[in-house]
Structure 1
Amino acid sequence: MRRLWPFTPRGTGALVLAVVCFVVANEVGVVELLYFGMLLIGVLVASLVSLHLVRRSDRVTRSLSPDVGTVGRPTTVIAQIGVRSPLPTAPGRWEDTLPKGVRGGAGGTFPARGSGLSGAERTVELEYTVTGVRRGIHSIGPLSVTSTDPFGLARRRTVFTDDTRITIAPAILELSALTNLLGDAGGTLHTQNNQLGQGADNLVARPYVPGDSMRRIHWRASAHRGDLMVRQEEQESTPDAVVVLDRGVLRYTAEAMTSTGADPGFEAAVTVAISVISRLVHDGYATDVVDSDGTPLVDRLDGGDMTEVEDVRTLFANVMARRDDHLHHLPKLFAGTMTGPVVLITGRFDKADADAIAPVVHHSSLPILFAVSPTPEALDRALDVGWHAASIDPDADIAHAWTGAVERGVSRAYR
């Protein structure tokens, strides 16, 4: 693609002057004006020819650092263009087309190049920085280069249609650790550390059966129960953590199902989810990440493996809401089981929802609820049945809300 009008303002003025010379020469019979007009036309033609002697490569390649961008953080883009030219080239202007998901200054001066009589291709490297503003997978491009001849009379605009995908993942916010709750809901790292020393095994009492050694009789428990009880070493269990990201579109807006980054409420839910996942895995929890109907969103994450968290963050760059709403069926997922922390992230939330998910509390050592758009009575009801609940709107301070919900079980939006 090239501009329809190939001349700069200076070249346009030269063309107009040439036409005027022709007209005046014809009217008054001044031959010198005719020669001057022909000279101007010749210069303009030579300018156009010199521009088209510059041959650029058909492709532009881009590299990103880091490979996966993050909402609110910069990413460096390096574009490389091959140039072949038997003549020196003047400086020009370049501009790369940015999608709505990123912002930055993607333009500047295209450097001048010396002559290359050998015909070998030389690479021009263009670097700029963009910042992710919208989660998702976006395309950068096309890139255009506008060149002028050495006299600044003609211009040529070349467009490289190649685009480059850039992945903008949700940001991981720093949340406080669950160190003060490890005794009740502890993670695998905590348990493993205890097992290295004494006290990793718990002593429990069970009824005496024939064949048990008399040395194992637990006299205090026997006196309390009225029957012989014996000591039994029970290995400390490692409760798992479960993060539930409710993707039902009825909890958000229709845009959450059609485009990433379009619904601020759903974006807040995704950010909370990946931040909580990172916190739990960092603290050593073996974490399952599921939808409200139990569908796994990712493979099970091992405690302490932060590499897997980065993989999940990349996957969450493209997660969207879905049509079905299964929040009221959530208790069925935990029927007959007992687990560690259960963190539920949802959107719209009312009192009926709080009543429906109340049974989950009895299957978790630490039930935490985050709702983007709850009603006041809904969070009060959730607190009454045992949830640690907090309201998180798109402008809320998620780190403070996490700390408040975990430590005090309050229902409050932190701003």
Structure 2
Amino acid sequence: MRRFWPLTVRGSGALVLVVAFLVAANELGLIELLAFAVLLLALLVLAALSVWLGRRRASVTRMLYPDVPSIGSDATVTVRVTAQSSWPASSGTWSDALPRDITADATGVFPAFTSRRDGRHAEVTYELNAVHRGIHWIGPLRLAVTDTFGLVRRQQTLGERTKIVVAPTVVELGPTPGFSGDSGGTLSPLTTQRGQGADNLIARPYASGDSMRRIHWRASAHRDQLMVREEEQESTPEATVVCDRAVTRFEPVAMDATGTDPDFELVISATLSVTARLVRDGYTVAVIDSDGSPLCAPIAGGDTAAVEELVLDFATITARSVRAGAPFAGLAQEVAGRTIGPLVVVTGALTPVDTAALVALAGHSHLPALITTTRNRETLLAASGWRAVTVSEDSELDEAWRTATSTAGVAYGIG
């Protein structure tokens, strides 16, 4: 550990002068030099006493804006120091301890305390930028206080560490074809029909309480009794997003901590981006793992608050171990025997065995989209029936989404 020298450059120079004057006074017999040396030494002692005597106590609070920054975005940290004892009216410097995943210029000149009704306070601010998602700790605050003459300094550590949560990147994707994006409504009316015209609407006998405006006059004349149009049923379209966390498709370190495997981080970002897009498009979205286990409760169309909660939950998610068995077996059980809405699988590096398992699932969705980090062209092309795209960084997600949801048919985007 580096030793802390209590004298500043000015104080060190003063100490050298004291020694020099004492030696010169002894050699030359000049009482004036001796007096000057004693006076300078007394000044150093008084400066040391003013800084080191007394226990300086203070509390430290940190405020972060925004509360949960995302990867690559700037956040403002405001550090407030509240004096709980007398502090010298002297200058000094400050620094905030930061982890390696956080970049910031967290140093500066410490301001003087200002008196308020609730005590004496001093505030410093700085901008930070997070490199990786997850939970990080900043602090404690270190102060190096000097005396009024700038001769002696004292280093002190104040407060505790503060936890901050860094969220994954969420990329703004274009609307899903066939929906109006951010136009508002989340419900789509479905009316049971036979044929193509309004005359083929199913009618039922009039019941007490039915509105007269809903009487189907042609059907009433045909059946010689009052008939009304069948009620329109409103339903919310549903979509399923699969976030494949199986460690076999990533580096093993993806299980240990966040930010360790770029491909896994890309899968997390793509999952959240697609989920946010589908929710804005009015879908009720189920987010599940490739083993079929849910990663959150279904998110209703338009519920952006639930999406924000999911982003926060995914800030700490890691890859999982894989049990023996066929790949995507849990997903196969989830969709077995039914046809669902959009099915978006976001995964890492696929093997031919993985691709073969996915091919069998494509027929269960009218929009099967596959977003993968696979770089092998043959493996990707083998995903028959899937709208398959490959991505290598966040900036490619928007283009990949447009390709995967293209109305032109099954598309293969090779990055």
TM-score range, shorter chain: 0.7 to 0.9
Return the alpha-carbon distance in structure 2 between the equivalents of residues 187 and 22 of structure 1. Answer: 82
**CA spacing shift, 1:18–1:249, aligned 2, 3 Å:** same
Return the alpha-carbon distance in structure 2 between the equivalents of residues 352 and 2 of structure 1. Answer: 56
Return the alpha-carbon distance in structure 2 between the equivalents of residues 100 and 323 of structure 1. Answer: 27
**Structure 2 residue 337 is the aligned partner of structure 1 residue 336:** yes
**CA spacing shift, 1:141–1:401, aligned 2, 3 Å:** same
**CA spacing shift, 1:249–1:14, aligned 2, 3 Å:** same
State, as a whole percentage, how many aligned pairs show the same letter: 40
**Any idea what SS the aligned residue of 2:128 has?**
strand
**Any idea what SS the aligned residue of 2:241 has?**
strand
Select 1:160's aligned residue among 158, 161, 170: 158
How big is the shift at 1:29?
Answer: 3.4
How big is the shift at 1:87?
Answer: 7.1
Select 1:275's aligned residue among 253, 273, 285: 273
CA RMSD of aligned residues (A): 3.1
Return the alpha-carbon distance in structure 1 between the equivalents of residues 346 and 287 of structure 2. Answer: 11
**CA spacing shift, 1:328–1:119, aligned 2, 3 Å:** closer
Aligned residue in 2 for 1:255? 253
How big is the shift at 1:140?
Answer: 0.7
How big is the shift at 1:190?
Answer: 6.1
Amino acid at match of 2:349: R
Residues 125-148 of structure 1, C-alpha deviations (whole Å, 9 max, x = no match):
111111222111100111111121
How big is the shift at 1:413?
Answer: 4.4
Amino acid at match of 1:201: T
**CA spacing shift, 1:353–1:141, aligned 2, 3 Å:** same
TM-score by length of 1: 0.83
How big is the shift at 1:89?
Answer: 1.8
Return the alpha-carbon distance in structure 2 between the equivalents of residues 304 and 356 of structure 1. Answer: 33
**CA spacing shift, 1:287–1:280, aligned 2, 3 Å:** same
Residues 152-196 of structure 1, C-alpha deviations (whole Å, 9 max, x = no match):
111111112511111110121111111x3359xx9997672x53x
Gaps of 5+ in 2: 196-203, 206-217, 220-228
Amino acid at match of 1:283: D
**Any idea what SS the aligned residue of 2:382 has?**
helix
Conserved 8 A contact 2:58-2:85: no
**Structure 2 residue 369 is the aligned partner of structure 1 residue 363:** no
Normalized per residue, which structure has more helix?
A: 1
Conserved 8 A contact 1:85-1:119: no
**CA spacing shift, 1:234–1:188, aligned 2, 3 Å:** farther
Matches within 5 A, 1:6-405: 6-52=6-52, 56-83=56-83, 89-113=89-113, 121-178=119-176, 180-182=177-179, 192=187, 194-195=188-189, 200-204=190-194, 235=233, 238-324=236-322, 327-329=327-329, 330-382=331-383, 385-394=384-393, 397-405=396-404
Residues 104-143 of structure 1, C-alpha deviations (whole Å, 9 max, x = no match):
22121111347x8x99840101111112221111001111
How big is the shift at 1:3?
Answer: 5.9
How big is the shift at 1:238?
Answer: 4.0
Return the alpha-carbon distance in structure 2 between the equivalents of residues 233 and 7 of structure 1. Answer: 86
Conserved 8 A contact 2:90-2:112: yes
Aligned residue in 2 for 1:223? none
How big is the shift at 1:235?
Answer: 4.5
Return the alpha-carbon distance in structure 1 between the equivalents of residues 337 and 146 of structure 2. Answer: 75
Residues 307-362 of structure 1, C-alpha deviations (whole Å, 9 max, x = no match):
00000001111011112167331322210122101110111113221111112111
Conserved 8 A contact 1:93-1:107: yes
How big is the shift at 1:234?
Answer: 8.5
How big is the shift at 1:256?
Answer: 1.0
Gaps of 5+ in 1: 206-211, 217-230
